A and B are shown apart, each in its own frame.
Chain A
């Protein structure tokens, strides 16, 4: 079963290369191929996670290797489920690149199986961690939308069209995509914080103790809350929303990794 992860990683790489080929050639047939390869990778990935579950005996989201892999898995399925609802040209190219980067990070992290620390032995583990990672997946897609928006807007604003103008969808479509990803991501992020807080009460006896991870997830939450709030009240849309989605995602990534490596604290598991 150890072979499943490399197969998954390899399939993702092939999917990404196909998507890049589509991005370059703009041939519909290439896109169809890329999509089916990504779908295959998603299925392999699901098998990998299920196998790992039986191997380690609990939901495999307790260390860096597992959590980043789960992050990538959530992004793949989030994208695939999104794809049927939104037609956003070349979104897949950007998303597949990010997924592959995540999978490479996961592959490079230690895959050793460490016995579960006592504090994590709870039913809240799969609930809290998976929700938090799924939130990251949608925020990552919002990040992709933001990057695409800025690339497209740059060319339109500069009045000189390069490789992106033809290949990327309209600003309106990108802004909508961004908004939908962030709205879903924000709901999941909120749920992640609430479930974490309940679990903290059970494990440590207090809902909130300003642990660095908690603090930074709150910072991330406030960034997205501000973005969504001002979108409706002050018209923080489009360019500003795109920039904010990139800033927000950086905060989310810092919460996931930066806190663990730089700040430590009792919540530093995913490492």
Chain B
């Protein structure tokens, strides 16, 4: 297998608006996406990850272009977009770039909120699904499993995770400063982002009575609401629900604002001015910044919360830099492992080349020896084969055995040069 057979096609909050992401393959399909992927003949190994902000397919394909097209077609099958448009809304990473991308995803460097811990769990369950459906080959198996250890390494060696946790902790602290006691308060999740879930979890642990989930697609709202034993409403009911909500956490992927000042102002009177704590963790923003001007409304977006946590910005970007460096390091390491995997194809190539020489030389020689009988002919041929095999024995052994003093990459390079495998 070549490194370039390893590919990722994905759609996330950065490249596609929520309208597009909603219509991606897996939402509401009865057939497991892994099974659908198995039907794609050009796609030899595959793994499917679907979260609120991200849908990605990790796969290995012999024919890059054919594989990419087929996977894209599968992803966008419900959206009626042409392949060209689908390309615009998705990204394709091949080889080393794919390795780098998956490592960044796993360690939450590519998340809406860098460092949020949910993504690793989601990736693990995607891996488990693919594994149960026998969709993983040796390479993808090693690839994804490696991303877990990279994420773990980043989590222990950098402080990247603490900022996400402390952000949601800060939100809880703030809620307590506003409401005193959170017992019996009602929280509403708008959109179903990972960070919203984390914050909601913290709030529920603090005694929040009721959770309402509002989402564009009701099915997903219902699913998330079930987790918190709450109720689900559609996005249209948002403003009317606001009458009884105390805390609202918004994390939709909408490009426009979801809630405006003019929607909330009249409601405050009906709420008898009981305070409303709005947390906007979406990028781009969901909530009108002017909402903070309304009396008894407190609006915090993710930057405000981060500022409040008092982790200074330089410190945070230093941690992110450190994490990126680890990703790079691990990518290189993985690539090295992968190169190691190329010993076998090198041997095959070597054999093929030498065999061709043997055949060509035999033909030439035989052309001048017409008076030889069939028995003698076979002897000459056997001799040629034996010479070739004996000659190849040591180089192959050299490639296959591990040795301390010489790098595998170097060995491969040496052999390929000596045998002129890369010339043709």
Contacts and interface: CB of A to CB of B under 8 A. Distances in A.
Interface of A: 152, 156-157, 159-161, 165, 169-173, 176, 234-240
Contacts of B176: 170
A159 B307 contact: yes
Nearest to A232: B272
Interface string B173-186: 01011111100000
19 contacts: A157-B292, A157-B298, A159-B304, A159-B308, A160-B307, A161-B308, A170-B177, A171-B178, A171-B179, A172-B178, A176-B180, A234-B269, A235-B271, A235-B272, A235-B274, A236-B273, A237-B272, A237-B296, A238-B275
A157 B178 CA distance: 10
B273 A159 contact: no
B204 to A, nearest CB: 19
B295 interface: yes
Contacts of B179: 170-172
B275 A171 contact: yes
A149 to B, nearest CB: 11
Given A172-B178, A172-B180, A159 B300 contact: yes
Given A159-B304, A160-B307, A240-B295, A152 B177 contact: yes
Contact of B269 (A156, A170, A171, A235): A235
A169 to B, nearest CB: 8
Of A157, A160, A169, chain B has the most CB atoms within 10 Å of the CB of A157
A231 B274 CA distance: 11
A218 B177 CA distance: 36
Interface of B: 174, 176-181, 269, 271-275, 292, 295-296, 298, 300, 304, 307-308
A238 B273 contact: yes
B274 A237 contact: yes
Contacts of B274: 235, 237
Contacts of B296: 237-239
Given A171-B275, A172-B181, A237-B272, 9 more contacts: A161-B308, A169-B180, A170-B177, A170-B179, A172-B178, A234-B269, A237-B296, A238-B296, A240-B295
Contacts of A235: 269, 271-274
B307 to A, nearest CB: 7
Contacts of A160: 307
Nearest to A238: B296
A237 B307 CA distance: 29
Contacts of B271: 235
Given A159-B300, A159-B304, A171-B178, A234 B272 contact: yes
A229 to B, nearest CB: 13
B178 A170 contact: yes
Nearest to B296: A238
A171 B177 CA distance: 6
Contacts of A234: 269, 272
A83 B80 CA distance: 68
Nearest to B170: A161
Contacts of A240: 273, 295
B177 A165 contact: yes
Contacts of B272: 234-235, 237
A114 B177 CA distance: 51
Of A159, A171, A239, chain B has the most CB atoms within 10 Å of the CB of A159
Contact of A173 (B180, B292, B298, B307): B180
A219 to B, nearest CB: 25
B168 to A, nearest CB: 16
Contacts of B269: 234-235
A176 B304 CA distance: 28
A172 B181 CA distance: 8
Contacts of A173: 180
B178 A237 contact: no
Contacts of A238: 273, 275, 295-296
Contact of B177 (A156, A159, A176, A239): A156
A169 B180 CA distance: 8
A230 B181 CA distance: 24
Given A173-B180, A238-B296, A239-B296, A156 B273 contact: no
Contacts of A161: 308
A160 to B, nearest CB: 7
A28 B404 CA distance: 64
Contact of A156 (B180, B295, B298, B307): B298
B133 to A, nearest CB: 48
